[in-house]
Amino acid sequence: MKIGVLLDEPKIIPGFDYVFYEVKPSSGRLLKPLPKAWNVVNCFADNTVSQNKPELVATSKGERAVRGTVRHFLWDWICPSRNEYRDYVKQIIQDIARHDIAGLRLDSVCYPREGYCDCPVCLEKRRASGEDFIEWRAHEIESFVREVRESVPCKLGLTVEPDPCYGNERFGLDLERLADIVDFISTPLYMDYSIVYWLDIIANCFRRRISKPYFIELYAGHPRTPTRNLVSALSVAAAYSDCVVLSTYEAKIAESLQAEMVSDRQVWKFFEDRKCEDMLKILGRWQNEFGESTR
Ligand SMILES: [Zn+2]
The tens digit of pLDDT for each residue in 36-58 reads: 999 999 999 999 999 999 999 99
Quote the pLDDT of residue 69.
87
Helix (H, G, I), strand (E, B) or coil at 7: strand
Helix (H, G, I), strand (E, B) or coil at 201: helix
Let me know: does 85 contact 147? Beta carbons within 8 Å.
Answer: no
Q: How many angstroms does the Cα of residue 146 sit away from the middle of ligand 1?
A: 19
Q: Looking at residues 129-154, what average pLDDT do you find?
A: 98
Q: Rounded mean pLDDT of the chain?
A: 96
Q: How many angstroms does the Cα of residue 177 sit away from the middle of ligand 1?
A: 22
Q: Looking at residues 202-219, what average pLDDT do you find?
A: 98
Q: How many angstroms does the Cα of residue 122 sit away from the middle of ligand 1?
A: 4
Check residue 2 and report its DSSP letter.
E
The pTM of the full predicted model, rounded to 2 decimals, is 0.96
Q: Looking at residues 146-175, what average pLDDT do you find?
A: 98
**Alpha carbons 10 and 96: distance in angstroms, whole number:** 14
Q: How many angstroms does the Cα of residue 216 sit away from the middle of ligand 1?
A: 30
pLDDT digits (tens, 9 = 90+) for 74-133: 999 999 999 999 999 999 999 999 999 999 999 999 999 999 999 999 999 999 999 999
Rounded (5°) CA angle 18-22-24: 140
Nearest to 31 by CA among 5, 52, 7, 10: 10
Q: How many angstroms does the Cα of residue 214 sit away from the middle of ligand 1?
A: 30
Rounded (5°) CA angle 173-176-177: 75
Percent of the residues in the chain that have a pLDDT greater than 90, as a whole number: 96
Q: How many angstroms does the Cα of residue 42 sit away from the middle of ligand 1?
A: 18
Q: Quick one: pLDDT band at residue 295, thresholds 50, 70, 90?
A: very low
* Residue 294 confidence (pLDDT) above 50: no
Q: How many angstroms does the Cα of residue 103 sit away from the middle of ligand 1?
A: 29
Those residues whose C-beta lies under 8 Å from the C-beta of residue 145, and which sit 6 or more positions away, are 106, 109, 158, 178, 181, 182
Q: How many angstroms does the Cα of residue 242 sit away from the middle of ligand 1?
A: 35
* Residue 293 confidence (pLDDT) above 50: no
Q: Quick one: pLDDT band at residue 292, thresholds 50, 70, 90?
A: low
CA 216, chain centre distance (Å):
9
Q: How many angstroms does the Cα of residue 82 sit away from the middle of ligand 1?
A: 7
Torsional sign, CA 168, 206, 176, 99: positive
Let me know: does 152 contact 93? Beta carbons within 8 Å.
Answer: yes
Let me know: does 223 contact 192? Beta carbons within 8 Å.
Answer: no
